[in-house]
Structure 1
Amino acid sequence: MKECIALLGGSFDPVHHGHVALAALFAGLLQPDQLRILPARPWQKSSLQASDAQRVAMLELAFTGQPLMGTTPVSIDLQEIERGSATYTVETLRGLRAELGEQSSIVFLMGADQLQKLDTWRDWQELFRLANLGVAARPGYDLDQDKLPPAVAAALAGRLATPAEVRATPCGKVCLAQSLAVDISATQVRNALHAGAQTGAGIGTDISALLPPQVLDYIQQHNLYKS
């Protein structure tokens, strides 16, 4: 059986239950040989509130050794941080394809909100020549093709596949998962943490429901997202 590598990228500022749920969903569906978590360097570096080291530390707390991923090995891939400059997803996938060879199945994971703006990404159609896509539904974002931008819907036509087909194919397939009902954004988390700090209310149950407890502890210990 071909090697299958699932890749979840993002700013993770901070990592939250939505990220973990997305990764766990596809870990279960694909049974990949490895799940790589890829903290990105966004073009607007100033938009990040946590440092690279802090984002990596929170990812390690959220993912390393956690039972939600089953038997799937999880690693934090630091290539974009170590590159020292912002990069596009297509560049990262080119490098990963060169590393893994032509036969490995690479599955880039994303939420439906990202799929709906996929045609704004750099060289986005090349993504299908480098990897498969695993896309999870998210409340408020429809995966029906008539709800997608026409160019994205056209690109998906003929590519939809089962998890088993995606796992067995190096690139070019798309697996849609309708069963992810978690609706959390990092902006929502940051705003809630900031509001708690401003009002003196501290960490409420609404915030603790958004984050893995060990990540929330780290945020409190390092006084993150208060301003």
Structure 2
Amino acid sequence: MTACLALLGGSFDPVHHGHVALAALFAELLQPDELRILPARPWQKTGLQASDAQRIAMLELAFGGAPLAGMKNQVTVDLREIERGGASYTVDTLRELRKEVGDAASIVFLMGADQLQQLDTWRDWHELFALCNLGVAARPGYELDQDKLPPAVAQELSQRLATPAQVRAARNGKVCLARSLAVDISATQVRNALRASSEAGTDASACLMPQVLDYIQQHNLYKS
């Protein structure tokens, strides 16, 4: 059986329940042999409020416990985009990983529907399909219907849709759409809640793992 590597990238400023829910959903659907979390310095976002070290620490707290459902092993945090320096481009990371894991492995890059709606703004986005598969989850307000997507992205998807089993077995070029992720949380919403008042930790507690919230409070993050 082809090895399957699932990847979840993002700024994680901070990591929240939505990120964990997305990872858990595809861990169950794909049953990947490995899941890597890739903290990035996204070129499309500026002014990250937590430092690289703080974002990494929060990811280790969020994903460092028991394995996700469907996973044989614990999730690992892959630091290559931080260590590379400068802005992060997903296509560069996928080129590196493809060389590392070989031609036979299935690589599945995970994302939310909000990212899919902007996929045509990513550097060399057409090449992504030659390097990996995509696992995309809907979320409230960001749907996966093709009329909600840029025409070029919708056209690519129309010929690549596949079941989780087909994606796991394919080296690249397939797209699995999951419409069952009902979590509607954004890092912006979490930061706003944390800034709102001295009682903001209570407001944000529904969005954050307790250990991550404790870390944020201990380090006085997102106060301004």
Describe the SS at the equivalent of 1:47: coil
Describe the SS at the equivalent of 2:111: strand
In structure 1, what is the Cα distance between the partners aligned to 2:220 and 2:56? 16
Mind listing any 5+ residue stretches in structure 2 that lack a counterpart?
Answer: none
In structure 2, what is the Cα distance between the partners aligned to 1:125 and 1:68? 31
Per the alignment, do residues 105 and 175 of structure 1 end up closer, same or farther by CA in structure 2, a change over 3 Å counting? same
Residue of structure 2 equivalent to 1:31: 31
Residue of structure 2 equivalent to 1:222: 219
Q: What is the percentage of aligned positions where both structures have the same residue?
A: 78
What root-mean-square deviation, in Å, do the aligned CA atoms of Structure 1 and Structure 2 show? 1.3
Residue of structure 2 equivalent to 1:143: 144
Larger mean CA deviation between 46-55 and 133-142 belongs to: 46-55
Q: 4+ residue stretches of structure 1 with deviation over 4 A?
A: none
Matches within 5 A, 1:145-224: 145-196=146-197, 200-204=198-202, 206-224=203-221
Residue of structure 2 equivalent to 1:101: 102
Which deviations, in whole Å up to 9, do the C-alpha atoms of 1:22-46 show, x marking residues without a partner? 0000000000000000000123785
Describe the SS at the equivalent of 2:189: helix
Matched, 1:55 2:55: yes
Q: Give the number of equivalent residue pairs.
A: 223
Aligned partners of 1:193 and 1:226 also within 8 Å: yes
TM-score by length of 1: 0.95
Which deviations, in whole Å up to 9, do the C-alpha atoms of 1:72-131 show, x marking residues without a partner? 431000000111221211111001101111110000000001101111111101000000
Per the alignment, do residues 191 and 169 of structure 1 end up closer, same or farther by CA in structure 2, a change over 3 Å counting? same
In structure 2, what is the Cα distance between the partners aligned to 1:165 and 1:115? 20
Matched, 1:14 2:11: no
In structure 2, what is the Cα distance between the partners aligned to 1:46 and 1:61? 24
TM-score by length of 2: 0.96
In structure 1, what is the Cα distance between the partners aligned to 2:39 and 2:14? 10
Q: Match of 1:4, as an amino acid?
A: C
Larger mean CA deviation between 147-156 and 70-79 belongs to: 70-79
In structure 1, what is the Cα distance between the partners aligned to 2:132 and 2:93? 11
Question: How far did 1:70 drift?
Answer: 4.3
Q: Match of 2:221, as an amino acid?
A: L
Larger mean CA deviation between 5-14 and 86-95 belongs to: 86-95
Describe the SS at the equivalent of 1:210: coil
Question: How far did 1:67 drift?
Answer: 4.5
Describe the SS at the equivalent of 1:58: helix
Describe the SS at the equivalent of 1:41: coil
In structure 2, what is the Cα distance between the partners aligned to 1:70 and 1:31? 5
Question: How far did 1:169 drift?
Answer: 0.4
Question: How far did 1:68 drift?
Answer: 3.6
Describe the SS at the equivalent of 1:38: strand
Residue of structure 2 equivalent to 1:4: 4
In structure 2, what is the Cα distance between the partners aligned to 1:63 and 1:164? 25
In structure 1, what is the Cα distance between the partners aligned to 2:102 and 2:85? 25
Question: How far did 1:202 drift?
Answer: 4.2
Question: How far did 1:66 drift?
Answer: 3.0
Aligned partners of 1:134 and 1:176 also within 8 Å: yes
Question: How far did 1:203 drift?
Answer: 1.9
Which deviations, in whole Å up to 9, do the C-alpha atoms of 1:158-199 show, x marking residues without a partner? 200000000000100000000000000001000110112xxx
